[in-house]
Structure 1
Amino acid sequence: MSDREHTEAVPDGGVQRAVVTDGTGTAWAEDREIPDPGPGEALVRVTAIGICGSDVGLVEGEGPPWTDFPVVLGHEVAGEVVELGEGVDDLEVGQRVALHGFVYCGTCGACRDGRYYQCDDLKEIGFTVDGGYRKYAAWPAYTLTPLPDDVSDVEATQIDSAGCTLHAMNRVETSFTDTAAVLGPGALGLYGVQLLRAQGVTDVVLTGTRDEPLEAGRKLGATRTVNICEEDPVEAIRAHTDGRGVDICVEAAGAGDVLETCVQSAAKQGKIVLTGVFGERKAIDPDQIVAKELTVVGGVTASHAVDEVIELFRRGDLTVDGVVTHEFPLEEFEEAFKTIRERRDGIVKAVLRP
């Protein structure tokens, strides 16, 4: 069902409330002018914003090295184009769009190689460029992907999360005969379960610390779930695979001993896909990587995966059911953050509505 609404007039000379952080442990709402779109930009009316774990981290001063405080939070954005800047001819007013928020030069070696997310002059919406925790925002038109009517606003906010996992997984090959483990039942992990199933991998173990998201993972296709507070994950995974280990291990937690769990749980010549951000050094046993001839890859961003994720949502191979568990009005962002930090009410992922 479409979330399309009638395009509303943008208030002339208006102001809006935007949620800002300086990375010192607080976020607040302040008045900001509604921007005019510059050349190559589109003005977007934000209709929904996913709260990424990195948003909560930014409030505490955690973020990529290019973060520029103070900044308006929010990069998991669905919206509607309400005005076009000069030279924009690939978008239309009234078109629903999803944000993929990398602003890049297009001329450095990484950009020429298609790795725009590793641009030498990288800027990122919600980190160095003001993001979507507001009602109106003007961004480069190339950061906006048109949405079909049968992809909802809430689904559109999840394109980035699902795309991050897919981009990383696309760096290794999978087979329908593989066994897999997904470590971490947050949004990245729950999309990982679904993406593995979509690729034909039917035997998937999901590990985590909370029963509610683990149960969501079971409903989304996990064959076996392991609460690591009650079972040793390595022993459980190896027992599930008759001692062999898994062919693919998707790390989606970014915390604890999950890296060592990956190395110990992987089968000989297994593949380890890292998607989490740890923010600190972690120790692993390199002898396991050498002896078992493991392939270890990392993945960052939803690069080159946005269109594929949109199609997966359209086909029903991806769902937000059990992943997006809460919605809040934008003005209740503090309550939303508190619910996430305290892991209240079985929350997995929350969406804000301006």
Structure 2
Amino acid sequence: MKAFQVKAPHDYQVADIDVPTAAAEEVLVRVAFAGICGSDMHIIHGDNAFVRFPRITGHEFAGVVEAVGDGVQNVAVGDRVCIDPVISCGECYPCRIGRPNVCSSLEVIGVHRNGGFEESVAVPAANVHHLPDHIGLDAAALVEPYTIAANVLDRMQPHPGDRLMVLGAGVIGLTILQMALAKGIEDVIVTDVINERLEAANQLGATHVFNSREQDIEQEVLALTQGEGVPLIADAACVPALLPQMLRLASPAGRIGLLGFSVQPSELVQLEVIKKELTLVGSRLNNRKFPEVLELMASGQLDPLALVSHRLPLNDMPSAIDMLDHRPEEARKVLIQISA
């Protein structure tokens, strides 16, 4: 069967591999669609400290169950499913307090073990989520990015009436925007440096959009908030140098959600944090958010297909990577059609 395999940084190809088998407590999923994520690109570039090579990447995917291993009772052949990539031990301190997404022995499908850019993939049955009948397999492949958004919003603990500022209008920024609106946050500011992305944010319901290359963001946002600042700031741009600006733009008692994996240091002025009693929270992956996202998707409150700019076959993965590397303004979510 075909799979997209990264052998080492910058060394990747679509290759023929053996079909995996479902071990005990696992299911074999025939992958229909898989989305290319920024973290997949980090693996390709050698910027992901967690990956084990060689690796079949892909943690955003959906498909149909084609075999079940011994002991599997919650899943049957023919079920339409999407897969939570977070595999945790259930015993360490984070797991004991309900934070399995930062498990001490965390494994992520597509990072620590093979993922969805292959025709068939074996996954733990416990990580499988059944799809409502009217959610297509293409939309279901995008459940995982929305769980990232749900997680960071929960980490920031919104209060009724809070305004949210999202830095970055790439796919994660747009999922945070949609998720925030679905959760009842009515006022969302979105910033980016690409006008096409800001137009997409505007179409998806952003209250205000600002181009940080063309406008003075601090002046605009402080004028908009009468100098108070913003209670919630989600960093979907993931640029360490932006942290000082986030501290200045946060309102007193504000919360800042950080999502980036950069190893570059960020300048932090302690006075800004203390005088406003700010809360900075990290957010990694998702903490059991798949049921919530599937419910919102089924109710029509999320529009995942609005994020899709390209649908390409698995053999075109190298050209998709080239586009994302060199012409990122042309793409939002690139969806790889594998067997649908």
Alignment pair present for 1:91 and 2:75: yes
- Aligned match of 2:242: 258
- Aligned amino acid, residue 183 of structure 2: Q
SS of 1:19's equivalent in the other structure is strand
**How far off is 1:295 after superposition?**
1.5
Output one character per residue of 1:207-231: Cα deviation in whole Å (capped at 9) or x when no partner. 0111111111011111111111101
Do residues 43 (structure 1) and 28 (structure 2) align? yes
> Does residue 125 in structure 1 map to residue 104 in structure 2?
no
Q: Secondary structure at the match of 2:10?
A: coil
Whole-angstrom distance in 1 between the partners of 2:162 and 2:191: 17
| In structure 1, C-alpha distance between the alignment counterparts of 2:171 and 2:265, rounded to whole Å | 23
Q: 1:321 Cα shift?
A: 4.3
> What are structure 2's unaligned runs of at least 5 residues?
none
Q: Rate the CA distance shift 1:306–1:35 in 2: closer, same or farther, 3 A.
A: same
Q: 1-side partners of 2:214 and 2:180: how far apart?
A: 25
Give per-residue Cα distances to partners, 1:286-336, cap 9 Å, x unaligned: 211111111111111122211101111111211124422111111100111
> Are the aligned partners of 2:14 and 2:314 in contact in 1 as well (CA < 8 Å)?
no
Aligned CA distance change for structure 1 residues 344 and 252 (closer, same or farther; 3 Å): closer
Output the CA distance in 2 between the equivalents of 1:285 and 1:321.
40
| Distance (Å, rounded) in 2 between the aligned partners of 1:41 and 1:135 | 16
Q: How many angstroms does 1:102 deviate by?
A: 2.3
C-alpha distance in structure 2 between counterparts of 1:78 and 1:228, whole Å: 36
Which structure features the higher share of helix residues? 2
Give the secondary structure class of the aligned counterpart of 2:123: strand
Distance 1:292 1:345, change over 3 A: closer
For 2:227 and 2:120, how far apart are their aligned partners in 1?
Answer: 54
Q: After alignment, is 333-342 or 275-284 more displaced?
A: 275-284
C-alpha distance in 2 between matches for 1:319 and 1:353: 19
Task: Decide which of 297, 310, 330 is 2:314's aligned counterpart.
Answer: 330
On the 8 A contact 2:34/2:141 being kept in 1, the answer is yes
State the Cα distance separating 1:256 from its structure 2 match. 5.3
Asked if the contact 1:272/1:296 (under 8 Å) is kept, the reply is yes
What CA distance in whole angstroms lies between the structure 2 residues aligned with 1:92 and 1:343? 42
Q: TM-score, normalised by structure 2?
A: 0.95
Deviates more, 1:207-216 or 1:338-347: 338-347
Q: Is the 8 A contact 1:188 1:252 kept in 2?
A: yes
CA distance in 2, matches of 1:199, 1:116: 23
Q: Distance in 2 between matches of 1:196 and 1:118?
A: 23
SS in 2 for 1:121: coil
**Structure 2 vs 1, CA of residues 310 and 82 (structure 1 numbering), >3 Å: closer, same or farther?**
same
TM-score of the superposed pair, with normalisation by structure 1: 0.91
Task: Name the residue aligned to 1:73.
Answer: 57
CA distance in 1, matches of 2:126, 2:37: 22
Percent identical residues: 32
CA contact (8 A) 2:14 2:317 kept: no
Residue 240 of structure 2 contacts residue 264 of structure 2 at CA under 8 Å; is this kept in 1? no
Report what 1:309 is aligned to: 293
1:321 and 1:113 map into 2 onto residues whose CA distance is 35
Give the alignment partner of residue 177 of structure 1, picking from 153, 161, 164. Answer: 161
- 1:146 is aligned to 130
Query: Structure 2: which amino acid aligns with 1:309?
Result: V
**Greater alpha carbon shift after TM alignment, 314-323 vs 203-212:** 314-323
Measured after TM superposition, the shift of residue 172 of structure 1 is: 2.8
Counterpart of 1:143, as a letter, is: N
- Compute the RMSD of aligned alpha carbons: 1.5
**Residue range with higher mean Cα deviation, 236-245 or 41-50:** 236-245
* CA distance in structure 1 between the aligned counterparts of 2:305 and 2:207, rounded to whole angstroms: 18
Residues 1:217 and 2:201 are matched in the alignment: yes
Matching residue of 2:214? 230
Specify whether residues 318 and 276 from structure 1 end up closer, same or farther in structure 2 by C-alpha distance, changes over 3 A only: farther
Q: Is the 8 A contact 1:49 1:78 kept in 2?
A: yes
> Helix, strand or coil for the counterpart of 2:4?
strand
Three-state SS of the structure 2 residue aligned to 1:253 is coil
State the alpha-carbon separation in 2 of the partners of residues 301 and 256 from structure 1.
19
SS for the counterpart of 1:151 is: coil
Q: Which moved more, 1:100-109 or 1:322-331?
A: 100-109
Moved more, 277-286 or 247-256: 277-286
Match of 1:165 among 139, 149, 162: 149
- Name structure 1 gaps, 5 residues minimum: 1-15
Deviation at 1:117, TM superposition (A): 2.3
Say which SS state the counterpart of residue 293 (structure 2) adopts.
helix
Deviations 1:3-54 (A, max 9, x none): xxxxxxxxxxxxx111111332121122211112111110100000010101
Code of the residue aligned with 2:163 in structure 1: it is T
